[in-house]
Amino acid sequence: MAEENTVFIGNKPVTAYVMACVTQFNRDADSIVLKARGRAISRAVDVAEVLRRRFMKDRVDVTDIQIDTEQIETREGNLSNVSAIEITITKL
């Protein structure tokens, strides 16, 4: 249930993730969590800002932002630390 409302931010254009969020909100999601790691973090902030200021202006807002450190396995099999962000966007 919770996973349903999660949008993982990767290397696609910002608009692709904005559209994924709009679709989920139109399917009756009350809130969505944007998750990103490493360099995609700034794109997650872009998605949140474009949503609340343009595509869903006055209809959604950012209600929580958490940052964390995650361990990922590199191609060589070593563990590496990477920063992560979770931005919660909620219908008003």
Q: Which residues bind a copy of itself (CB under 8 A)?
A: 38-42, 45-46, 48-49, 53, 62, 65-69, 81, 83-85, 87
- Please state the closest distance from residue 1 (CB atom) to a copy of itself, in A: 26
Cβ closest to a copy of itself, residue 27 vs residue 69:
69
Residues 6+ apart with CB under 8 A from 32: 5, 6, 7, 21, 24, 25, 88, 89
CB 87 within 8 A of CB 27: no
Cβ closest to a copy of itself, residue 26 vs residue 74:
74
